[in-house]
Structure 1
Amino acid sequence: MSKAPSPTTAPKGQMMAVVTTGNGGYDKLDYRPMPIPQPGPGEVLLQVLAAGMNNTEINTRLGWYSSSVTTDTSGQADAQETRAEDKDDGGWNGATPFPIIQGTDCCGRVVALGQGVDAALMGTRALVRACMRPNGYEVMDNIWMASDFDGAFAQFVKVPASEVFPVSCDWSDAELATIPCAYGTAENMLHRAGLGPDDTVLVTGASGGVGSATVQLARRRGARVIAITSPSKSDLIRDLGADQVLSRDADLVATLGEMSVSLVVDNVAGPGFPTMLKLLKRGGRYVSSGAIAGPMVSLDMRDMYLKDIRLIGTTAWDAPVFANLISYIEAGEIRPLLAKTFPLSEIVTAQKEFLQKSHVGNFVLIPPAP
């Protein structure tokens, strides 16, 4: 009977981190020293090399996931300087456990192992699977790094060893940090909806992190891809593999025709939702993991049941999703969309620019070297 690996010594002392102290504006982002976390049994400590930035960090800080909020996320730039009381349902699983270190996307290097962790992980460069299924994949229970426990907006982060995926490629740390949340969410939607080469898929919000990832991943699966974005970003989205790119202002029914697509991937929702169901063929699927144009939509039940449409909600990542992404990276089948990097200490500047929505792809924060 083999002996379980012994733990390795983790760095001691303090690290720099961005601590989100509650629901509210930029004043809730506090860049300050924090104790370096120590890995327990079954855990590893990673030095964070780069941390991607997403809508979800801003939405969680603002408490947008609360049922009391009915507005869109695209206008949140105007709300950043306001203070708000902490919401008991403002996170993905109820109340966010403030104070918390956010940062859902982590590219890091394993620098210490807890008891029982395979020694082969030591020193590897890896991505962290941010969506974790602690009760198994037979149920939808899930917890998220940076929403339910401390994340990657820091020099170090500890996570379960089972969620660490070494990756071998020539991408930079910042490029790898664009992958976990956006590409994991996109791949999960396509996996759950069963996208195949015979499908025609419509992707809304195609220039965002999840949208641009969806375009690439849908093209990789051989589907015909129709993307919706602003005219200024059309050429780049076409370069990612979209067969047809339409403006956000286009009359989609007039342009494409009713019952013209078999799958809609829609993280926009809001007022445009009814049109999505008009576009779906009989037996079509609608899949979503967000609602940046607003969570409240108008649903004509006749469009749904008379056409045998399936509505698919996705938050919990399915078992194959993250391993799939690692294989795509290592095989050179997808490419990163790194829009810009910022020092971790400049997170407020990064989030302000992020909310202008003038970029394509992902922003990444770089912690200082320890």
Structure 2
Amino acid sequence: MRAAVYRHFGPPEAVRVEEIPKPSPGRGEVLVKVHASTVSAADHRARGRDVPRGLGMLAALALGIFKPRHRVLGMDVAGVVEAVGANVTKFRPGDAVIAMLGASFGGHAEYACVRADGAITANPRNMTFEDAVTLVFGGLTARVFLGRAGIKPGDTVLVNGASGAVGTAAVQLAKQLGAHVTGVSSAANADLVASLGADRVLDYSAVDFTAEDVTYDVVMDCVGNLPFEGAAASIKPGGALLLVVADLNGILLAPWRSRASGKLVTAGSVKYTAEDLAFLVHLAELGQYQAVRERSYDLADVVEAHRFVGTGRKRGNVVLRLPAGAAARMS
């Protein structure tokens, strides 16, 4: 099968399309013929081993010290089940599914194996694979972090980085919970953020929300430029700071800061579940969750996809297409 492979850490050009062995599903696994995956900020960071401050050693252990531990990036997939392993009864060949592969990666290939008891569920009936796969990485991450805050109708939520994959999901999900949502983005993306339900949109280049005399029940940082010291005064007593992207200090000090301030500070790993993914699919089928997809690239153009994600300016998701009969030229 064809896959986007990287054999050393480096720039976008480190990724090449190669022929590698097609996997076979093991016990409890399903083999998915992949039609779409996203090229996320996580793929960008893994490819270059470019991680927040202090996380270099942990990243080396997880991603590989001298060479990549997982040669094929891609944390999510949308496609069709081709085969199932022993003891799999929930899925069968021909099922259209979306799934989260997480830190095991592997989505940027024509086939991927997924645990049947993992974060995998039926593809939304009203979405193409290219749109459906945008629910996975950003949607699941946003749902898990927002769930930690216990948001109630009428709560005020600020999303820093509201136009990215996680941010666009967070704006929509916070509105679903009945919150009043403020999105922080560039002026160029203000209309997008407003269209997703944000009640107020701030241009980060013109307005510093931490300098305003406004406080929020929940502040969610999807960028990684909002330390507790800078955000604390903008959070109401008993409120929450959700650090989707954090450096080592932010992660290690989160429990202590929570106890000392009386405000929930949470960062770190996310547990992805089929139940959360099915919830997102349900919202999508009801027309209450929009896929946000700025660009799609063919597998052969994966280097260009990585270059674009590396600019840090993508709106929502960048999708990698792997349809049958796609262009066969190699990068």
TM-score, normalization by structure 1: 0.78
Q: Greater Rg, structure 1 or structure 2?
A: 1
Cα distance, 1:295 vs structure 2 = 6.4
Of residues 9, 16, 34, the one that matches 1:30 is: 16
2:104 aligns to what? 145
Letter in 1 for 2:233: K
- 1:160 equivalent to 2:115? Answer yes
1:237 aligns to what? 193
Cα distance, 1:327 vs structure 2 = 2.0
1:89 aligns to what? 58
Of residues 158, 164, 172, the one that matches 2:128 is: 172
Q: Identify unmatched segments of 5+ residues in structure 1.
A: 1-14, 70-86, 132-143
Secondary structure class of the residue paired with 1:185: helix
2:329 aligns to what? none
Q: How far apart in 1 are the matches of 2:61 and 2:233?
A: 30
Secondary structure class of the residue paired with 1:101: coil
Distance of aligned partners of 1:129 and 1:352 in 2 relative to their CA distance in 1, 3 Å threshold: closer
1:369 aligns to what? 324
Cα distance, 1:304 vs structure 2 = 6.2
Of residues 142, 167, 170, the one that matches 1:211 is: 167
2:97 aligns to what? 126
- 1:59 equivalent to 2:41? Answer no
Kept after mapping to 1: 8 A contact 2:53/2:248: no
- 1:261 equivalent to 2:216? Answer yes
1:277 aligns to what? 232
Of residues 349, 353, 370, the one that matches 2:304 is: 349
Letter in 1 for 2:41: N
Letter in 1 for 2:293: L
Secondary structure class of the residue paired with 2:134: coil
Distance of aligned partners of 1:25 and 1:94 in 2 relative to their CA distance in 1, 3 Å threshold: closer
- 1:248 equivalent to 2:204? Answer yes
Cα distance, 1:180 vs structure 2 = 0.8
Deviations 1:20-57 (A, max 9, x none): 21222234212100111011111111100111110001
Structure 1 runs (4+) greater than 3 angstroms displaced: 65-69, 91-97, 294-297, 301-307
Of residues 47, 51, 54, the one that matches 2:33 is: 47
Distance of aligned partners of 1:18 and 1:94 in 2 relative to their CA distance in 1, 3 Å threshold: closer
Of residues 63, 79, 92, the one that matches 1:108 is: 79
Distance of aligned partners of 1:341 and 1:91 in 2 relative to their CA distance in 1, 3 Å threshold: farther
Cα distance, 1:66 vs structure 2 = 7.4
Q: Percent identity?
A: 28
- 1:194 equivalent to 2:150? Answer yes
Kept after mapping to 1: 8 A contact 2:224/2:244: no
Deviates more, 1:351-360 or 1:234-243: 351-360
Deviations 1:65-84 (A, max 9, x none): 37656xxxxxxxxxxxxxxx
Letter in 1 for 2:64: A
Distance of aligned partners of 1:120 and 1:60 in 2 relative to their CA distance in 1, 3 Å threshold: closer
1:332 aligns to what? 287
Cα distance, 1:306 vs structure 2 = 6.5
Letter in 1 for 2:21: P
Of residues 308, 317, 323, the one that matches 2:262 is: 308
Kept after mapping to 2: 8 A contact 1:282/1:308: yes
How many residues align? The count is: 318
Kept after mapping to 2: 8 A contact 1:329/1:335: yes
Deviates more, 1:268-277 or 1:346-355: 268-277
Secondary structure class of the residue paired with 2:182: strand
Q: How far apart in 2 are the matches of 1:217 and 1:244?
A: 15
TM-score, normalization by structure 2: 0.87
